[in-house]
Structure 1
Amino acid sequence: MNIEPFDAAIVGGSYAGLSAGLQLARARRRLLVIDAGQRRNRFAASSHGFLGQDGRPPQHIAADAQAQLRAYPTVRWLDASVTEATRTEGGFELRTHQGDAFSATRLVLATGVVDQLPPIEGLAERWGRAVFHCPYCHGYELQQGRIGVLARSELSMHHALMLPDWGQVTLFLDEAFSPSEQQLRELDARGVAIERARVRRVVEHATVELEDGRRLPMDGLFTLSWTRSATPLAEQLGCAIDQGPMGEFVRTDAMKATTVPGVFACGDLARAAGNVALAVGDGALAGAAAHRSLLFPSG
């Protein structure tokens, strides 16, 4: 079997992968980008907080960036899922679900993460529309209205204490944790209402229905999502994985290099938390670092 060779391959063609690819394409490197088409923010109607793109639909931002990257003559784009990544003497070999095989001297992982939400009825279908995780991304649009925080653990205190800058906050404890006396004083100082009844489900736009039958309408809800890597490729390659407060992420150094020589990681896959702007910056650094490593293998 002839395996098509590339200087670098990027797995994941969302914001981080596109940004990494632009650096390598502009360095005139032969580049392969393989993308499964599953952006993390595909559920959101608009993206916020990214300079120059504030308020645009995320699919439009990604489509424009993809068109710009694919215009470079050294770039090959493949719509596929990578099922296997292995180290070889000269770099790495990738295999797709379609059975295609490719080799690359350097590898950039930008596959993103999967959000695992609390098992509350009605929550998943409202994710990115009325249920969010990032106040900076979605808080402003709630127009200082009624904001609910669905607790998952004591970490939900972070949401509860931040979000009064964006609206009138109710913390739904849902038996996830019991605030200490100090935490109760902090919540009171921020004007946060506390609801201790169990949450039964979310209905209508963002109405929280409690086990005692009460319904509390909200303009938006925030909750923590646990995250896991969208693919097992980093583990297959032997990259070190760290556990953050909201899930796992690939360990990288300041230049986005993983613990496996020649493998770089960027975006939400390689951060404890992130957004579009951070993913783009991460990708730019990873792409430049991958190119630099081709020039100076021992540096």
Structure 2
Amino acid sequence: MYDAIVIGGGPAGLQAALTLGRMHRSTLLLDSGQYRNGTVQHMHNVIANDGTPPAEFRATARAQLSEYADVEIRDAEAQALGGVAGDFVVSLPGGASASARTVILATGVADELPPVEGLAELWGQGAYACPFCDGHEHAGKPIAILGGAARAEHLISLLGRIVGKITVVPVGESYTDEEVAALEARGVRVSRTLVESVGRAGDDVVVRTADAEHEVAGIFVASGTMRQRAPFAEQLGLGMLESGAIEIDDFGRTSVPGVYAAGDLAHRASLPGPMAAVMMAATAGQLAAVGVIQSLIAADH
């Protein structure tokens, strides 16, 4: 019986395991090997790790965790989760299982990209979602924004002072005349025809529509959604928010006692959505671990 099982080996799960290990709490970290930034070559906006490959970041974290006798890491995907506070059971491949007094969910989310030919192949290496993570690398360069007008305007506000010429291209549904006028008033080029495909053009990217090809340095996607990567929130009946994320309090507590959540899959109700950033995920992992430690101390007394 572990004090805690942490499900997920990204920044949130790794930091949670480190915090628990430093407080000598027996911890099992389960890592499925699936990461939201799995296709990304370099992390950005991460102090002391700006430009570090995510795989290198994870490897360093795991090497440091290996120094803590109370932390065990298994490269295994949790398949099911059940039980109650003080006695949770995680089902593992091959019929194995593991039990813990508490659980921290750090499985993250998966991006659901719009159905554009070639977009999945470019994701993280030519096509992006986060201006904070990838905007600076396109400073002064032409870019394309794919998606709905309202979200495109938000990206223009963030990227306009950084990048060069911006071309906005609709996905799935053409812009209205009013939307075209509003976008053009922001000083950007607007395509009136839908994106048909995207692909490589040497070091650049080409966006193809019915009547044009736009060669740009990179694409920022202003459409698409995200989903919970793992089924545990549904299995446990956790309280959810309109964003599709798990509702938590300041210490990562969910609506089910003994279950905590950290990272992109969860946020407080006071925020409009999860803060998708490595630093924020790690912070959430640390807070969830502190919440776990508080609950274990209370249970032991």
- Residue 181 of structure 2 is aligned to residue 218 of structure 1: no
Moved more, 75-84 or 189-198: 189-198
Instruction: Write the distance in 1 (CA, Å) between the matches of 2:261 and 2:284.
Output: 9
Confirm or deny: 8 A CA contact 2:169 2:195 kept in the other structure.
yes
Residue aligned with 2:245, SS: strand
The number of equivalent residue pairs is 290
**What residue is the counterpart of 1:232 in the other structure?**
231
Once the two structures are TM-superposed, the CA of residue 40 in structure 1 deviates from its matched residue by 0.9
Confirm or deny: 8 A CA contact 1:30 1:75 kept in the other structure.
yes
**Alpha carbons of 1:128 and 1:182: their partners in 2 closer, same or farther (altered >3 Å)?**
closer
Confirm or deny: 8 A CA contact 2:85 2:259 kept in the other structure.
no
**What residue is the counterpart of 1:279 in the other structure?**
281
**What residue is the counterpart of 2:270 in the other structure?**
none
Letter matched to residue 176 of structure 1: E
Once the two structures are TM-superposed, the CA of residue 182 in structure 1 deviates from its matched residue by 8.0
Instruction: Write the distance in 2 (CA, Å) between the matches of 1:159 and 1:118.
Output: 17
Confirm or deny: 8 A CA contact 1:250 1:265 kept in the other structure.
yes
**Alpha carbons of 1:77 and 1:181: their partners in 2 closer, same or farther (altered >3 Å)?**
same
- Residue 81 of structure 2 is aligned to residue 85 of structure 1: yes
Residue aligned with 2:242, SS: strand
Q: Which of the residues 191, 194, 197 maps onto 1:201?
A: 197
Letter matched to residue 125 of structure 2: R
- Residue 244 of structure 2 is aligned to residue 242 of structure 1: no
CA-to-aligned-CA distance 1:119-159 (integer Å, 9 cap, x gap)? 00010000000000000101111132011100146333312
- Residue 161 of structure 2 is aligned to residue 169 of structure 1: no
Identity of aligned residues (%): 35
**What residue is the counterpart of 2:40 in the other structure?**
44
Residue aligned with 2:58, SS: helix
Letter matched to residue 214 of structure 2: L
Consecutive unaligned residues of structure 1, counting only runs of 5 or more, are none
Residue aligned with 1:155, SS: helix
Q: Structure 2 matches for 1:74-223, cutoff 5 A?
A: 74-88=70-84, 90-152=86-148, 154-167=150-163, 168-174=165-171, 176=173, 178=175, 181=178, 184-185=181-182, 187-204=183-200, 205-212=204-211, 214-223=212-221
Once the two structures are TM-superposed, the CA of residue 222 in structure 1 deviates from its matched residue by 0.6
**Alpha carbons of 1:239 and 1:177: their partners in 2 closer, same or farther (altered >3 Å)?**
farther
Once the two structures are TM-superposed, the CA of residue 174 in structure 1 deviates from its matched residue by 3.4
Confirm or deny: 8 A CA contact 2:142 2:217 kept in the other structure.
yes
Residue aligned with 1:280, SS: helix
Instruction: Write the distance in 2 (CA, Å) between the matches of 1:173 and 1:242.
Output: 28
Instruction: Write the distance in 2 (CA, Å) between the matches of 1:174 and 1:32.
Output: 43
Residue aligned with 1:242, SS: coil
